[in-house]
Amino acid sequence: MLKNRKKIRLYIFKSNKHIYAHLIDDKKQKVITSSSTISKDTKKEVKSSSNCYTAKIVGQNIGLKLKKLGIQEIVFDRGNNIYHGQVKAIAEGARETGIIF
């Protein structure tokens, strides 16, 4: 467990209406970047904020931000959510951009 804490972590948070993906550096204990259903770049592409299609776009957006930062390998932290539906769609969207986890 301590070995994974030294890497950069993609943390997923779901509320009743929105989905958030935060990239956290555990060494510095800071959020590096984030993407969500309420961010400007995602709102342009989707109409509904709580479905798997929207979650996949959030995953693709966070993947593109990771690429710009030069990060390819991360730890996927789904929190208390099961790996199903929207959480799985975020993971698939990030993997499509070439992110490894």
Domain 2-96, classified CATH 3.10.20.740, yes or no: no
In DSSP terms, 20 is beta-bridged to 13, 36
56-83 core/surface letters (b: 16 or more CB in 10 A; e: else) = bbbbbbbbbbbeeeebeebbbbbeebee
pLDDT band at 3 (very low <50, low <70, confident <90, very high): low
Over residues 78-88, the pLDDT tens digits come to 999 999 999 99
Sequence ranges of the domains in the chain:
2-96
Residue 1 has pLDDT above 50, yes or no: no
The pTM (predicted TM-score) of the whole model is 0.87
pLDDT tens, position by position, 22-53: 999 999 999 999 999 999 888 888 777 778 99
User: Is 70 a residue whose pLDDT tops 80?
Assistant: yes
